[in-house]
Amino acid sequence: MGDQAGEGLVRQRYPELLAWLSARESEFDRWAAGQGPPGRWDFGAESLDDLEEVVRERFPREEDLLGAKDDAFVQGATWYVGEAVRRSFEACGTHDPLVWMYDPAPPAGHPRSGFFDPATRVVTDTPFVGAPDSVDGEWVYPLGVLNELYSTVDEWGEPVEPRLRGALHDPYDDEDDEDDEGDEGDEEV
């Protein structure tokens, strides 16, 4: 994937991304109405809990979700998660705002696939949010966040229970990072 800083503007202007964002925004009210009372979809943590429940009911397995990448519900859910993440960072006021982007270049060693290609079982052919000049590894793939709901263990083999709300910005994480900055070299003698 293109991972060079400075490519953010190109990633933000990819034609299929712009068309997708326009369609998602114009279809949001209809999508929300199909998922229950419209007032529940406010992009907050509780609404992500509700969405999580709906996703788990509709798609019992990870393969079911990824196989339905081009489904209207999955498209709407992907946009909703991305907007919730983007808005949570914007609301904190301490970070650069996140923007929607798309990088059509596949990861090294992977074949090129189409935008939201249901034949592929990857999320890298879908839009992501990140700071305008961020690079791969700093991006949040909303479909990846949905996909993580099916994880049962983390990279160390420890049991996990992933939640959609975990993708939202947590200002307390910033405070923890600041507290840890002075800890290096503070060994007791």
In sequence order, what DSSP letters do the residues of 39-59 get, joined into one string? GG-SSSHHHHHHHHHHHHHH-
pLDDT score at 143: 97
pLDDT digits (tens, 9 = 90+) for 61-79: 999 999 999 999 999 999 9
Domain that holds residue 23: 8-179
| Residue 62, domain member (yes or no) | yes
| Residue 187, domain member (yes or no) | no
pTM: predicted TM-score of the whole model, two decimal places: 0.84
- Return the amino acid letter for 112: R
| Residue 124, domain member (yes or no) | yes
| Residue 189, domain member (yes or no) | no
Reply yes or no on whether the pLDDT at 177 is more than 50. no
Name the domain count of the chain: 1
| Residue 186, domain member (yes or no) | no
| Residue 47, domain member (yes or no) | yes
| Residue 184, domain member (yes or no) | no
In three-state secondary structure terms, 129 is strand
pLDDT digits (tens, 9 = 90+) for 80-125: 999 999 999 998 887 788 999 998 887 777 777 788 888 887 888 9
The one-character DSSP state at 98 is P
pLDDT score at 96: 82
Measured distance CA(74)–CA(45) in Å, rounded: 19
In three-state secondary structure terms, 153 is strand
Reply yes or no on whether the pLDDT at 180 is more than 60. no
| Residue 88, domain member (yes or no) | yes
